[in-house]
Amino acid sequence: MIDSSTRLYGLVGHPVAGSRSPWVHNFIFETFDIPAVYLSFNVESDKLQDAVNGFKAVGTKGFNVTIPYKTDIIPMLDRVDGTAMQLGAVNTVVYQDGDFIGYNTDGDGLIKVLERRLGPISNQRVLVLGAGGAARGICGSLMAGKAKAIGIWNRTEQKAHQLKLELETRDANECKVAVISAPALFSEYDLVINSTSVGMEPDIHESPIDVRFLSPQAVVCDIVYKPHQTQLLRDAALGGHDVIYGIEMLIEQGLLAQKLWNGLSDDALEPVRNALIREFEMLHK
Ligand code: ATR
């Protein structure tokens, strides 16, 4: 029941229609009897600062940030956690003792999903499809997780070279970064992550690559979750590849946000993760 003690959480982005974050968080509040509600706010860019001020004024306990504001929000916060600063992107904000503190749970969420399915990321050679904002976040997280190698494939190859340069100056660890210029090189990778919007509704029959170029053992992961089974994942499953669905990453970053907001433990959240995945699959059969 919503009453005068109900706490407010939310999402800011533009657009936010169709986001599944309210579903994830309200499900968790209900499961744990947390007196809170999560709403989404479609905010124009010239009103972002007003929205942040308003959230603080009304005592919002936390909020998520989505496209296109994950970087723009940084100077509007009181503090930003080291990992989020390194990635240059905040997706979760926590209210604590009068301050808004920014975190990034996208990266940790991705690594958690991958490691649960594949074991240590340090053994993985990863092919990232795309070189935009989402790819930048994914590559940064893979480097922080010490992936063995990253290959970047992008329709506009020049942007892949730019991202490679940026990653190499940011982090000088052992991870080898390469620009992939021909599909014949896809077979060198153990894991493929689509970070492009190709295959997203309404263009549900499009796939960013021909999966026949992949190594037969490669695992295929898509960050697109609308539709649940993208053309890429359908082709990959038909070709005998293990697949990882986009909704798993969305749910995982949401669970990590709840750990920050409400101190929920991994053990408590484990059954919730499974229930959310089951419900999503039922809704999108
Ligand atoms: P985001 O922040 O979601 O990553 P973005 O920065 O606009 O969005 O990046 C979109 C990515 O999807 C880019 O890698 C883009 O490729 P280009 O750099 O060549 O534009 C890729 N992309 C979008 N539509 C595509 C399509 N139809 N075919 C192949 N790649 C596409």
Position 171 pLDDT exceeds 70? no
Smallest CA-to-CA distance from 219 within 143, 138, 117, 146 is with: 117
184-228 pLDDT, tens digit per residue, is 999 999 999 999 999 999 999 999 999 999 999 999 999 999 999
Residue scoring higher pLDDT (52 or 18): 52
Average per-residue pLDDT for the chain: 95
Active site residue 70: yes
From the list 47, 56, 61, 70, the catalytic residue is 70
- Answer yes or no: is the C-beta of 158 below 6 A from any ligand 1 atom: no
- Which residue lies with its CA nearest to atom 18 of ligand 1? 156
Whole-angstrom distance, CA of residue 127 vs CA of residue 153: 7
- Which residue lies with its CA nearest to atom 26 of ligand 1? 198
Position 29 pLDDT exceeds 90? yes
- Which residue lies with its CA nearest to atom 30 of ligand 1? 155
Position 16 pLDDT exceeds 80? yes
Structure tokens, 247:
């909704």
Query: So what's the pLDDT on residue 228?
Result: 94
Smallest CA-to-CA distance from 52 within 19, 90, 18, 24 is with: 90
Cα separations (Å) of 63 from 21, 167, 188, 280? Answer: 11, 28, 40, 22
DSSP 98-126: TEEEEE-HHHHHHHHHHHHHHS-GGG-EE
Distance from residue 126's CA to the centre of ligand 1 (Å)? 18
- Answer yes or no: is the C-beta of 154 below 6 A from any ligand 1 atom: yes
- Which residue lies with its CA nearest to atom 27 of ligand 1? 198
Distance from residue 196's CA to the centre of ligand 1 (Å)? 5
Taking the CA of residue 160 as reference, the ligand 1 atom at the shortest distance is 18
DSSP the chain: ---TT-EEEEEEESS-TT-SHHHHHHHHHHHTT--EEEEEEE--GGGHHHHHHHHHHTT--EEEE-TT-TTTTGGGSSEE-HHHHHHT---EEEEETTEEEEE-HHHHHHHHHHHHHHS-GGG-EEEEE--SHHHHHHHHHHHHTT-SEEEEE-SSHHHHHHHHHHHHHH--SS-EEEE--SGGGGGG-SEEEE-S-TT-TT-TT--SS-GGGS-TT-EEEES--SSSS-HHHHHHHHTT--EE-HHHHHHHHHHHHHHHHH---HHHHHHHHHHHHHHHHHHT-
Position 172 pLDDT exceeds 70? no
82-139 pLDDT, tens digit per residue, is 989 988 899 999 999 999 999 999 999 999 999 999 999 999 999 999 999 899 989 9
What percentage of the chain reaches a pLDDT higher than 90?
90
Position 285 pLDDT exceeds 80? no
Query: So what's the pLDDT on residue 86?
Result: 87
